[in-house]
Structure 1
């Protein structure tokens, strides 16, 4: 971990919030802060971190905005500024001792702005990582395996959409807050999941994305400590991330949950996650993030895979499916049902799920069916599904694992009690 980069990522949303609040232009503020972050990343490691790093970034970013506006004034004779009713004196760079240099934290407001429901999930994720997470466009593009210009265009379109919408830089009112908070939680969830199990590429997990999602969710929890779903999401992330050291082998190969060395799990994260979800569950309405965290806690508290309380996990999945139905939840319930009632029960759930077409062609359906067929003793059928799943995943570690499972079954191994890949 780089201490300077960590500090910059912590300060980035605060500085964007200050400049957006002062100057009323989120897109320009975000661009200026990115330039200030690059300047700091180049200077601070050699020259030392300034006494007031937040004030330094505000001053440098504000000067960037001032320079830009002055250029616009020279080229367009101030028409744009006049049309937007922004007096020139508002663009003066704040002094280092400005009250904003150590003032209020606008991180939560910025999160709500970047995760507005009008943005697509992909755009909201990218914009959140850049504006709130402080990641560069190149870092985000690398994480999602797309060219940097493509990611730059996605971020630019998202900023322009927010700009053209005329959304004010303030917390949404009570009527709008629930929907906006749902969007914020969903974006943070997507960021974490992409880090936990990358959808494509050579690495099973991108730990830097998972850590960033946890950092942002901690900030959200600090600002909204009484929201049980925020608490549930943080607990879910911690309980899942605790397993990261054991999820891959020496060469980056996938290690399924049932085979992981639980001694390598982060006991402190497990304890923190369990404490959070234990405190949140009695609070009132139990939402999907709390239920997923409760399931993760049951897994993490089991001393061994064989001692996992599958009846409790199945009961929790049934509640989750009732509260927040989705084909992925049904897929996981099928695994839990097979562990409690036998593989035939799980295969019956899968048959109904496949018939409704919601997961048609998705590799995860084939992974789970291969696992259940293996448990049922249908080794040729299991091998075929493992091969099909391998051909449909873009993740190299998952593909290697699934092809290896298929090859072993073709050689005639005994049925395994291991869980499906991932």
Structure 2
């Protein structure tokens, strides 16, 4: 009867799906609930572990934050202390700065006087030697009787006055270039190649307050000449690096320097467009040459010392007479700045290196271009001659 009524109610749809489903066994239901409870407990334990790790990580980060905060405060305190010490040292140093400048000036003056004394000593030694040779040559003449002593004295006085007048006239005359048929004494010389593997740095010293633009070596003494963008030129003894002499007079950077072949003078070229000749005996500028319209890049002495050649940004090179200070020749032909100039050894030819990527060889007498060398891909910055081969020109170039 119960089953019949259950079936009728199921057919009529009066029972829900849960009522119609098979009634589970109580034991199975309890087992399912126990499994769910165990799974929830495991999830709870994992969540507790994750929370504990997060708590430990937070504590660690908080400690590190406190540590870095304390370290930052300590660094700030040390920085403030260092700033105070630096200010105190600067104030303390400012009291000694005038003394240091005065000592440096005295040192430079002393080195200049020392160099002048050396030059004076060399000059006197040469004069003594020449007097000794003159005395030795005059000894046989003095042994002979003189027919008229008063006439001889007046004649000597007249000759000396004539020589003085001749020298005065020659000082106003232009120097003459030597003949072209001079022989090069180095043509047959043999030079041992330098052993590059034995070379090493000997000494480094600060020469100027700005960039060093050029250096040259004294022809007779271990002296190095330097010029700089600070507008000065200086001479140092090598290899000790002691300051011997310094000169300032240019209004802009000094780009070129060269020594006289006898080592008595120096010539410098500057960005102010001038060329200056300096005398070591008087420690002063003896001549200023001003024909260039733009900066002078390079200068060089003739091997006899009577002429100076200069290269300029105004696309020209000029030949100067050192005795009169006049420009004897202007070399035109480059279409860009003339960066370097040099004399061909024991000849009257000069070589110029230009920003128009060419190297030119010029005749100093006529001012005409003998030969132009092409092939560089960019500005030519330097040119040099070989001493052994009179007609060999080696040039170097540099990409900007």
User: TM-score, normalized by length of structure 2?
Assistant: 0.25
User: TM-score, normalized by length of structure 1?
Assistant: 0.24
For the pair shown, which has the larger CA radius of gyration, 1 or 2?
Answer: 2
Of Structure 1 and Structure 2, the greater strand share is in 2
Of Structure 1 and Structure 2, the greater helix share is in 1
